[in-house]
Structure formats: C-alpha cells, structure tokens
A = this chain, B = another copy of it.
C-alpha cells in the first residue's frame, strides 16, 4: 500500500520509526510536514496531508497527542481521521467509520504500541452493513 505520513516536529521520531516499520512490511511511504526539529505547526502538517492523500491509500498524522492534527485533518470533508490509542479503536475506525487517516500521539504512545495500532488499522476492513455505510456517508454531508 501507499501510505503518507505527516507530523509536526514533536513527532519526527515516531514518524521515522513507523516509516521504517511500514517499509519493512512492504509498503511504500511518503513523508510530509516537519523536515527537522525546528518548530512546525501541526495544522500545517494536516494541510500537507490533505494535499498528498489522493495519491495514497492511507494517511497517518502524528503530533504530541494526535488531537490538534486530527482536528485540522477532519476539517477536510474527504478525510476521516481516527485518533486511536488502542488496537480496538483502530479496528473499529476502519470497520465502522471507514477511516482513511490514522491519528496518533507521539507523547501518548510508545513506539511498539503505535506500530500495533497501525497494523490493526491497516488490517481493518470497512463493514458492508448498510447502517454503517449510511453513517459514513453522513460524515461527508455538507455542513
């Protein structure tokens, strides 16, 4: 799969770790957002993700808690960004919400927990149950 990772400066290390793990697992990756440890605003990283997402299968956004970057990512109606702290949440994000972006907090999760959540997200499949699909459609309804 083709996966784009976006982060601010606070999440560079976790982003690099996940990029390596994803590549070892056979995926192609792109990185956008902070390039080095200089301060980089998380809303800008979300905006870069939104630009890059159409040429990828999934996105991953990371900031200190994952909160700020996921708020901004979800401003874009074509993005369904799921902030997850457990594998259960990641599985449900794909199954019930057809999430196309995973949001993670670099100051909240250890590296192995973040990778386990990422694997659960990539394994997940959207439900075919009509009520779940109808709710996902409503997420994209104009406000």
Contact = CB atoms under 8 A, between A and B. Distances in A.
A143 interface: yes
A64 B108 contact: no
Contacts of A81: 71
Q: Count the copies.
A: 2
A135 interface: yes
Nearest to A101: B71
A92 interface: yes
Contacts of A71: 74, 80-82, 97, 99, 139
Interface in A67-103: 67-68, 70-72, 74-77, 80-86, 88-89, 92-93, 96-97, 99
Contacts of A83: 67, 70, 83
A58 interface: no
Interface residues on A, range: 35 or more
A29 interface: no
Interface in A34-56: 39, 41-44, 47, 50
Q: Which 8 A-B pairs have the closest CB atoms?
A: A74-B74, A43-B138, A85-B85, A67-B82, A83-B83, A68-B97, A65-B92, A41-B135
Given A50-B143, A68-B97, 16 more contacts: A43-B139, A44-B138, A65-B89, A65-B92, A67-B89, A67-B93, A67-B99, A68-B96, A68-B135, A71-B80, A71-B81, A71-B99, A74-B74, A74-B75, A76-B143, A89-B105
